[in-house]
């Protein structure tokens, strides 16, 4: 079964395409399961830029009561597409920041999400997911300084206990190659033991995010050396996601990501229901995937 656990329908202001268009595209591409993970960004320094959602073409503050509408729409599609052979789950991608832990906790406790993806996009008010902004943050900093700052937030995100998995673990690489070149590939090593230890002491999983391939990088996120270490450190739950922001990218490079996972020694790919993981794909060393 093919699946995609990282999708941004047009509730995310940086995405296009309705959830129905995504579901239809997934069905046409033969996917068996998808999970919508719209952005929920409450980072104080970026609220004026990111703190919005789009519903039926209208912009609302992320603080307005929009999540019930989002979940109802997913529920409607879930029933409709179940009969057609596509399972649809309700997830969310939340930007971690230490100042908003209480708000994140209230949201994940109030709403019945299947899957909560934690991410670190923002460093000192800069979004490292936006090319110019990432480069502005990196200017004047070494690759090691960027990693130290990024991973200190990732470790907090793991330890806060609010997230099922951490999204695109090496997002800092995506737009900083033009500044650091290959030096960025090893820059995490200074803090890597602490990152592995944080994962080992938690039940937080990891996603393999195929977005890096579309940005011209040779590896997805995390890279193979990182994934091997994470599996070795006992990370037991692994999801795969395209991070599609347009319907035609649903399922993009997922087969390649599953093969990448297998080569790194990861032999299970997971789905989530009501925040609980389940094995969706078992991979063996000879690469026979079975449900």
List residues near Zn ion by CB under 5 A.
Answer: 93, 119, 167, 243
Based on CB atoms, which residue is closest to Zn ion, 93 or 133?
Answer: 93
Based on CB atoms, which residue is closest to Zn ion, 167 or 240?
Answer: 167
Give the dihedral sign, CA 226/128/186/192: negative
Smallest gap from residue 29 Cβ to Zn ion (A) = 19
Pairing of strands 31-40, 2-7: parallel
Smallest gap from residue 284 Cβ to Zn ion (A) = 30
Give the dihedral sign, CA 38/44/146/203: negative
Smallest gap from residue 6 Cβ to Zn ion (A) = 6
Based on CB atoms, which residue is closest to Zn ion, 11 or 192?
Answer: 11
Query: From the CB of residue 265, how many other CB atoms can be counted at a distance below 10 Å?
Result: 14
Distance CA 1, CA 11 (A): 27
Based on CB atoms, which residue is closest to Zn ion, 24 or 212?
Answer: 212
* Contact by Cβ (8 Å): 270, 280: yes
User: Considering only CA atoms, which of 133, 172, 129 is closest in space to residue 39?
Assistant: 129
In order of 74, 92, 133, the CA distances from 63 in angstroms are: 20, 15, 24
Dmax over Cα atoms in the chain, in whole Å?
55
Residue 156 CB contacts under 8 Å (≥ 6 apart), including other chains: 96, 98
Pairing of strands 238-241, 268-273: unpaired
Based on CB atoms, which residue is closest to Zn ion, 119 or 154?
Answer: 119
Q: How is residue 96 annotated by DSSP?
A: -
Based on CB atoms, which residue is closest to Zn ion, 186 or 219?
Answer: 219
Smallest gap from residue 69 Cβ to Zn ion (A) = 20
Smallest gap from residue 83 Cβ to Zn ion (A) = 28
Based on CB atoms, which residue is closest to Zn ion, 96 or 262?
Answer: 96
Smallest gap from residue 63 Cβ to Zn ion (A) = 20
Smallest gap from residue 282 Cβ to Zn ion (A) = 26
C-alpha 236, offset from chain centre: 17
């Amino acid at each position: 079964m093919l699946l995609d656990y990282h999708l941004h329908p047009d509730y995310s202001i940086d995405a296009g395409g309705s959830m129905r268009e995504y579901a239809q595209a997934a069905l046409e591409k033969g996917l068996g399961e998808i999970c919508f993970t719209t952005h929920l960004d409450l980072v104080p320094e970026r609220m004026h830029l990111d703190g919005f959602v789009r519903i039926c073409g209208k912009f609302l503050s992320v603080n307005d009561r929009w999540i019930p509408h989002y979940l109802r729409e997913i529920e409607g599609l879930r029933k409709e597409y179940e009969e057609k052979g596509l399972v649809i789950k309700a997830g969310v991608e939340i930007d971690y920041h230490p100042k908003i832990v209480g708000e994140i906790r209230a949201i994940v406790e109030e709403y019945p999400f299947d899957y909560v993806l934690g991410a670190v996009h923002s460093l000192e008010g800069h979004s490292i997911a936006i090319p110019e902004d990432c480069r502005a943050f990196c200017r004047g900093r070494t690759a090691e300084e960027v990693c130290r700052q990024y991973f200190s937030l990732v470790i907090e995100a793991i330890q806060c206990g609010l997230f099922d998995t951490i999204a695109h673990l090496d997002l800092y690489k995506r737009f900083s190659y033009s500044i650091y070149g290959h030096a960025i590939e090893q820059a995490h090593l200074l803090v890597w033991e602490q990152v592995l230890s944080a994962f080992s002491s938690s039940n937080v999983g990891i996603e393999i995010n195929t977005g890096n391939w579309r940005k011209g990088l040779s590896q997805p996120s995390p890279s193979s050396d990182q994934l091997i270490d994470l599996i070795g450190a006992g990370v037991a739950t692994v999801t795969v996601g395209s991070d599609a922001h347009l319907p035609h990218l649903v399922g993009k490079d997922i087969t390649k990501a599953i093969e990448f996972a297998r080569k790194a020694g990861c032999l299970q790919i997971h789905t989530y229901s009501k925040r609980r993981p389940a094995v969706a794909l078992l991979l063996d060393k000879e690469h026979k995937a079975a449900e």
